[in-house]
Amino acid sequence: MTTHDTQNTKHEPQDVFVSVVAVLRSYARFLPVFVEEVYATLEARYTNFELVLVDNGSRDDTPRVVRDLLGRYKCVRYLRLSRRQRPETALMAGLDAAIGDYVVTLHPEFDPPAEIPALVEGCRAGADVVFGVAPFPTPPGVLYRLLRWGYHRLAGPALGTEVVRVNSGFRCLTRAAVNGLTRVRVRKRHFGLLAAEIGLTTATHPYRFIARGGKAPRVNLRRAARRAVSQTLSQSVAPLRVVSLLGLGGSFASLLYSLYVVGVYLTKPDVMPGWTTLSLQVSGLFLLVFVMLTMIGEHLGRLVDEAGGRPLYHVREEQASSVMLSDLTRRNVMSQSE
């Protein structure tokens, strides 16, 4: 085979179904260019594909622009949410609607559609989820890097799983991964943590951000801090376990103080009148409060652990024998019709 033939074979459409999900805000000014790039990439590489556009409360001419695009391109679907949701909640609406063997999610303003085939190939090579990782055009400051290092050092033991270090929503998921993630019905979703919790195999793909709308992505320390707190509170019972430990420690300290008060009363002849009863009353009340705090913390921890509609297990792969009945005479399907 010549080099020319090899290049032609390389670009032949692959027999897989790829879905691309993009969440839209007010992107009317560059949406046609974005759709054209995505469509050209998918049409050149795959025999079956779709582009799912999720309108998350746009406030410009995005609905009108999308309707014009629906008349020009095939395999484009449009979902318009009733009100603006969190970005990952809107993305979940797209994942619920996508039907492809592989589902790619990307940001229309910052992620290049030309990298879609590389992400898909990462999943076809064996990964359940391939995360795109891109350096910020403006490097983050020392404080951001220090806090991120500390968070990732503590997040693993606190959350009970390894946190995938990603900084974008550019990712590709297999159908099994999509099915596993969509079964977890929680409002505050963190895909990196959910992938680790389910047990999905992950890989990363380096790329570079683009600035389709004229502005490049940048580090937002406040937003990153809110995300870290949300991940810790929504995905882990570790904070409640800390409350329980503090309550247990306070209970033990109150008990020791009560024993100290009784010891002083028994060994000291000149104890001020009323000091013993007042001290026992205060220490007893604190003991009761800390015991209640411990029990509340444990109870809330169990509720958080059971909440969110998380299934008890996730089936990563399912196979079956070619013959499901050992005794073929017991099947209820006729071999011939009359």
Q: pLDDT of 40-56, one tens digit each?
A: 999 999 989 999 999 88
Q: Are strands 14-24 and 102-106 parallel, antiparallel or unpaired?
A: parallel
Q: Which fold has domain 12-236?
A: Spore Coat Polysaccharide Biosynthesis Protein SpsA; Chain A (3.90.550)
- Cα separation, 148 vs 145, whole angstroms: 5
Q: HSE of 280 in the Cβ direction (CA atoms, 13 Å)?
A: 11
Tell me the pLDDT tens digit for each residue of 215-240: 777 766 677 676 666 666 666 666 66
Sequence-distant (6+) residues with CB within 8 A of 157 are none
Q: HSE of 159 in the Cβ direction (CA atoms, 13 Å)?
A: 25
Residues of the chain scoring pLDDT < 50: 1-9, 312-327, 330, 333-334, 337-338
Residue type, 299: H
Whole-number pLDDT of residue 314: 42
Q: Are 75 and 51 in contact (CB under 8 A)?
A: yes
Whole-number pLDDT of residue 196: 64
Sign, Cα dihedral of 75, 174, 27, 132: negative
Q: How many contiguous H segments (helices) and E segments (strands) does the chain have?
A: 11, 7
49: part of which helix (H) or strand (E)?
strand 46-55
Q: List the one residue out of 225, 240, 204, 245 whose CA is nearest residue 151.
A: 225
Place of tokens 């680790």: 196
Q: Domain boundaries in the chain?
A: 12-236, 239-306
Whole-number pLDDT of residue 163: 61
Report if pTM > 0.75.
no
Sequence-distant (6+) residues with CB within 8 A of 291 are 247, 251
Whole-number pLDDT of residue 82: 82
